[in-house]
Each structure stands twice: as structure tokens, then as C-alpha cells.
Chain A
């Protein structure tokens, strides 16, 4: 589903290049649950953003299915991203002044889904995630675990093929973290590909493969 060939990423540092990723080649198959691990500063988030097509400043080849992303214009990339990828963030990034319901609606609103359809989809997801009772609350009226639950719900709402999660449980209690990981497992069982960045072996254990990064290099 995703194939990266010799991905390189650097930041200019004075006259020199400061490499964050070196010759990273990985393949992720449909239905996999992959965990990216490695020390702080290794380039995990960077890699995830490249996969997520937020970052366009890199060298190498990126195939999404049959599509050569590295040859595409940013605008076309965005379209592929919107159709296929959902994101979960470490600090949830719910919008403070929108209710749970409205937060869930955002991705749909950017994908030209009709209003009636949106209502149905949001209602579905609220139901599935068991947060119907919270739909009119604001993020700051929720616990961290509940906020991340909404974060995950928001990631799946547009029915992506793949979910990218950057330390989704980093700000959570272990018990709340467990809940999220089990949710991911369930989504994975239903066919969604999942790529997560994590520091925790326990969380990594939910997945079926681990990619190790150190100083921008892949390690086996």
C-alpha cells in the first residue's frame, strides 16, 4: 500500500545539511499495524508527516498504491491524502471552541460531504465510539482519554484506509492508553491500516511489526 524508497530529509544548517532521515526505505502492506519506535529526535514524527503528505520537502520515492507521490503536485497529493489518510495527534488537537460533534464534522466538511450525509456519519461514529452523550460538550469538559477518543473518532470519520498516529497515548494514563490501543486494534481488525509512533513496548505489542529509527537511519 505504501512504499518508500530512499527517502532523505534534511534541514539546512548554515552551509551544511542537517539530515533528519537517511535513505529510509520501507513498505507497509494493507491491513498492517505498524509501530515506529526510536529515541527522541530520531525522526519518527518527521517520517510520519512525510507519509501523511504534510511534508513535501524531501528526496526519494514515495508510492501510495500505484501512485508515485513524489511526482505529484501538492494539490493532487492533498486529494489523495484526504481520501485515504486519517490523523491522531499526541495532544489531541481538538478545536477548543467547537463541540465534540462539530469537531467530528470538520474532516467531512473539507471533503464536500453533504450536510444530511454528514449528520448520519457523525451519528454513526458517535454511536460506535460510545460518546453520543458527549456530543454537545466542549473539549475542555472532557478527560484526556475521552478527548483522545474523540481524536481517534475524528481520524476515522472520513473512512480512511490508513490511520497515522503520533504518540496517541503520550499524554494519557496507562489505563486510558490501553483503551485507545484496543480501539486501534479493533479498527485494524476491521481492515484499517495503522501506523503509530510510540515509545512504549506495550503499545507496540498491539501491532504486528516494528520499524526502528535512530538518528534518521532505519535499524533492524
Chain B
């Protein structure tokens, strides 16, 4: 122990006395370790840290799917009820859907994210309210369901943390009794939910096949996912046999809570983790190489120590303690870098990862980093220590006098390290290149609308207050008129479904004159209810026909506008304008007493709905004035700043109904950017890491080539004396560097080829074997190596043979 301390002290002194070397080594390690700590803190928060629900690993989403388990859809009330009744795998099983609730009375109206859930929701979550209780099965029936559980945040913000359980609050114009307050931080099943209330499902209201629910189960202890999945599939088969018309080709797909939350980001995260491990490897290689370079300097010290009786183990320990000190110093600085880095990461891209607030440098991250520092110290220190102490004493003594041929072996090792470094950089660069190219392609996609200068706000009218659909329509008509009159507003419109905003809503329809064959589904399309000037506001081109006007109202003829995709699908060789179709949704039938026959009056360009990478879907648009809705999104195009446009919307809505909140006001550009946030996140980081790798590689290769030239000074002198020209020497040194580059690039290409397979799922219109990426990166690396060799090579060609030879 005492010896180890002495070695450590000595190691520190050695480092102190060689500040240049120490600074370079510590900085290199700090970059490598810091990058690892930063990515690890994200991995830790999202993939490793237990979720705050008891036995969270047993909580699973249950989606409707195809019979082969592919795709996922919302679950129908009937299938939920059947699965719940028949399966043996679930300890508890709940159905729910997201909704919003306008909270009024006492203060500004606020639109809150809410969940309507069936009675077992609390059991699935496994968390008890801080005060009060969850709703019961008795309360989960229509008429008894005016109870609500609220979040800790809402309790503090709106009610000052005062006695609330047992009191009534106004939600969507109805009075709800608060029965519970959840503990701080409870945000099940996703962020920002503030109200949980009973679903009160009335099965008789829904036909089989109508689906709008999400569902979640808690597996019984000891039941595995495959078991539960298989059982659910079996039940789906039964349901299909019993209801061949409504439930053809259906299934259930279980997806654990963790997967649901991080599923999309999980693979990119592991790839990032792989990338930073490569960066660390390169850093280690550099420092190991640096240590080896110093070996020549320390040779004498080592042989003298050995002559004085030090065993090999003594010597190795001595050298390892130095590298351990380096590792720990690098680790501490790295942790500091990581702390800033993570903050920066989240700031530049808050939408990239779920729960960014959870990401922090906690004890586990610190522990991981320190462990990594120690391991790193041992890894990069072991090889030099082993090599340096290997040569026996007499050899060491002799070689310190002559040009050391033992150091030729060190050169071989250092060359190997350079090759490794180049190969690792190449893998990293190819990965970054592929993802970057893919991201580029995504950004180049034209979404079909122009997002700049457009803002939106969602408005959801409480049905208790606006019972009649025409009353709702009147509200929206007045809001639209008001907004259009505001300064800075160019055009404004309303829609039910806005791209990149709130998902999609499909509807089936019938084309008049084309009866649907028995046993086939009618065609379907994405359905939007819009007011006039919607296409103008969003910059969607009208290809044929006309836009809706304010004359398309309830009492006028039924009209519909379709997009090019729908036109192409159903009228490939005909002009669809003037053709007729019927949607005939239950709401429509209720309003008009029969399905409305609609004439196609316009065709518009295709629009991406959720992601830039989506295929174009068939879409149809119906005048909102003919099909009113209680919730709509106001879209406004204007020259004014987004904030002031949003303020205008808020003012207008307030002037019509002071109790009516607006929800999620945002610029459309922001929404599109959010949809690519994860790709942007990964691409940015990979670019940073690839840059880091290049810098480290240049430094490493430069160091090695410089060392090689020093080693070969005498040899170069001899060669010059024997007739070599300056150019010969230049070529020789650069040739040696390029040979290493060639081998490194070769190995790297093979490795990258293998690794890139993991990327397939993440790439958009880029093949994992994209020739350009591989060739470009290879050329780039070769150029970088050439650059790194240039100064040492010039130094070599300037060797004075006289001086080089004089050392005899």
C-alpha cells in the first residue's frame, strides 16, 4: 500500500514536471471520457434508470395490430372489453384516451391535458394518490363519472396546495368532484397530464370496429411478454372467428412501457454510445502512443531502476500509477465537460428525447465515469508498461547507446495504434456520414405546404357549454372573422386535422356509381374539416377546381375537395371534378338524417401529415361549415412575429368567450422541426463526435510520425549520405504514413461495412453501403493523414546528414 502511494506520488511528480505532455494527455482523455459520460447520462436516464412505478417492467401497452403483429392501431371498445374478459395474463387492464379539459372558475381559463381512463388505471400504474383515492369501478359508468384526480403541479399552481379533495372544480363547463391528488412527478403514462377522470365506457354506443382507445395492462407476476403476447393473439383469433365482418385480419401487439417511451430513440442512443466508445478508444490510442513515445526518454531510468533491483512488476506498477493519475484527471475534467455538454445538448434540441428533465449527472453517471477513467488508465497504460519493461537489462543498456533497435518494435506497436486509430475514425465517420446524408435527404423533402410565417392554436370547446354543433360552428366562425381582422394577419383558417399537429383521422367513403364489392372494405382517406382559405393559409397549391368559399354552408350543396393522391388512386384516367362521393359518418347522418352526397369541386397538392418521411396518403377535405366540430385548430399566416400573432388569437378568443382557453400555440415551422428532432439530435452529435475523432486522429498520427522521424534521423542521414534526394526522404516518410492510412482505411472499411448494417432502419433513402459516403470518408481520412505527415516529413527531408552522422 505504501509502495503504491509512493508510486502514485512519483507519478504525479513526473506529470507535474512534464506539463506539456500532461496537458495534452489529460485533455485528450477528458474529451474521450467526457463524450462518454454525456451520452451515458442520456442512456442512463432513458434506458437504464428504473421508471418510477412499482414493477414498471410488467406494465405494457396493448395495441391493436394486423394478424401478424405488424402496425399498431387504437383499440376498439368491444375488443378491449373482450380481451379484458378473456385473458389470464393481465393482473389489471385499463383503456384510456387523451383529451383536454378547460378548467374555469377562479383565474384565467386553462386548457389542461387530461386522460379519460377505465377503473383499473390506478392499479396498472401501481401508484396511490398522495391524498384521496383513485376512481372506482362504480364511478366508471356514465352518469356517475363526474370525479377527477388531479396532478400535484395543478394542485399547487391553481389551488395553492390548500385542501382540495372533496371540493368541486369546473371542467369543460361541468362540475367534477376532486377525489385525489397524485404525488409530485407522477406523469403516467406521459408528460404533462394534469387530470385523470373515468372513461365511463358505454359499449352500446359503439359499433364493433370503431376504435379510439389506447390500452395498458400490468402483467401478472411470472407471466412473460411472449406468453402474454401469444395469449392475446389467440384471443384476437377468437374475436375474428366470432366477428368475421368487423374484425378481419386483426391482432394485439404488446409493447412495454419503456419501449413505448424510448423505442424510437433507443437504437440511435446505442449507436451514439458506440460512437463515443470509438472516440474514447481513439483517445486511449493517442495517449498510449504518447506514453510509448516517452518510453525512449524513460529507457535509461527504467534500466537503472532495474539494475538497482526493481522487479518487472515494480516497474509496471510504477508506470501504471502514472497512467492511472492521468486517467482520473481526464475523468474529472471529462465529467465537467459532460455536465456542460448535456445542458447544451438539451438546450439546442429539447424535443429530441422524451423526458429531457430526467437527464442529469447523477451518482450512477459519476460512478460510471470514474470506473471508466480507471479502466481507461489501465488500458492505455498497460501496453506501454508491458513493452517498456520487457527488454532485459543488458539489451536496454546497450541500446540506449546505439540507435535502439528495440525501439523499432515500439515503432511497430505505434504503427499498429495508428492503424487502429484510422480504422476507428473511419467507422465513426462513415456512420456519421450516412446518418447526416440521410438527415439531409429528410430535410430536403417538400412537405407540400409552406410552414414559414404560420402559427396555430388548438381550440377545444366544452360540450357542456356548446352542446349544439351549430353553436360550435358559430363560435369558430366568429373567431375566424375576428382573427382575420387583426393587424399583421394575411390569411387565417380553421381545420380539424393540421399536419404535424395532432395525428391523423381516417374515414371510409363511397364513390357514387361504384358499389363496393361484397367482403371488401370501402376505400378510405385522411379526413379534414376546414374553413375557407385553408389552402391559401398553408400554401397548399390548388391543382384543379376551386377552394371552399363562405357560400359553402349547411344549407348549400354538399362539396368535397380531394388531394392528388386520392385522385390518382380512384380516377387515374379521368377528371374527378364533378364526380360525387359520400362519407356518411355517424355524426353526419345524425346531423343531416342521411349521408350527404358531395360533389368534388377541387383537387389540391399532396401534403405530409405526420413525418417528412411519410408516404402521401389519400386525403379529403370537407367544409367545416357543413360538418361542425367541437375542436378545431386556428391557423394564421402573417408578417407579424409569431408571438404577436398568437396574442391576436388569444385576444379574439377571449373577447368571444372569456372562459375559453387556447391550447399549444406554436409556429408551424417549429412543429415540422420537432418531427425531425431525434434525427437532428443524433446527426448533430455524431458530427461532433466525428469531428472530435478527426482532431484526435490528426494529433495522434502527427505524434507518431514525428516520433518515427526522430527515431529515423540517423537512418535518414545515412540515406542522404548514400545518395537519397530530399524528395526521396519526403516520399519515404509520407509513404510510410500513407501505408498506415491504407491499412487503417482498409480495415475500417470492412468494419464500417459490418457496423452500417445496424443503421439500416435509421437511414432514409441512403443505402448502408452508400459508395459516396465510404469513398468520401476514405479520401477525407487519407487527406487528413497526409496533412498530419507533412510537417514530420518536411522535418525529415531537412535532416542534415552531417549532424545525423556525427553522433558516432
Contact = CB atoms under 8 A, between A and B. Distances in A.
Nearest to B807: A91
B805 A93 contact: yes
A123 interface: no
B714 interface: yes
B723 interface: yes
Given A54-B802, A96-B405, A97-B408, A158 B723 contact: yes
Interface string A162-184: 00000000000000000000000
Q: Is the interface of B mostly helix, strand, loop or mixed?
A: helix
A96 B722 contact: no
B795 interface: no
Nearest to B719: A106
B491 to A, nearest CB: 76
Contact of A110 (B403, B715, B724, B805): B724
Give chain A's interface residue range (CB within 8 Å of chain B).
Answer: 20 to 34
Interface in B715-735: 715, 718-725, 728
A150 to B, nearest CB: 13
- The CB with the most chain B CB atoms within 10 A, among A89, A93, A140, A154, is that of A93
Interface in B399-443: 403, 405, 408
Nearest to A138: B405
A97 B712 CA distance: 11
Interface residues of B, number: 19
B808 interface: yes
B804 to A, nearest CB: 9
B725 A54 contact: no
A49 B723 contact: no
A43 B457 CA distance: 93
A93 B723 contact: no
B802 A95 contact: no
A59 B723 CA distance: 23
B341 interface: no
Nearest to B808: A91
A87 B271 CA distance: 59
B132 interface: no
B801 interface: yes
B802 A140 contact: no
A54 B719 CA distance: 12
A154 B805 contact: no
Contacts of B721: 52, 54, 87, 89, 93
Nearest to A158: B723
A159 interface: no
Contacts of B714: 93
B468 to A, nearest CB: 95
B802 A110 contact: no
Contacts of A87: 721-722
B802 A106 contact: no
A189 interface: no
B719 A110 contact: yes
A78 interface: yes
Contacts of A49: 802
Contacts of A185: none
A78 B725 contact: yes
A99 interface: no
Given A89-B805, A89-B808, A111 B405 contact: no
B728 A110 contact: yes
B454 to A, nearest CB: 70
Given A89-B805, A93-B718, A82 B723 contact: yes
Interface in A97-136: 97, 106-107, 110-111
A96 B405 CA distance: 7
Interface string B780-808: 00000000000000000000011001101
Given A55-B802, A140-B405, A95 B808 contact: no
Interface in B721-767: 721-725, 728
Contacts of B802: 49, 54-55
Contacts of A55: 802
Given A55-B802, A140-B405, A95 B724 contact: no
A90 interface: yes
A95 B715 contact: yes
Residue of B714, B801, B805 with most partner-chain A CB within 10 A: B805
A81 interface: yes
B808 A111 contact: no
Interface of B: 403, 405, 408, 714-715, 718-725, 728, 801-802, 805-806, 808
8 contacts: A45-B806, A54-B802, A87-B721, A89-B718, A93-B721, A93-B808, A95-B718, A97-B408
Given A93-B718, A110-B719, 16 more contacts: A45-B806, A52-B721, A54-B720, A54-B802, A55-B802, A75-B725, A78-B725, A90-B808, A95-B715, A95-B718, A106-B722, A107-B722, A107-B723, A110-B722, A110-B723, A110-B728
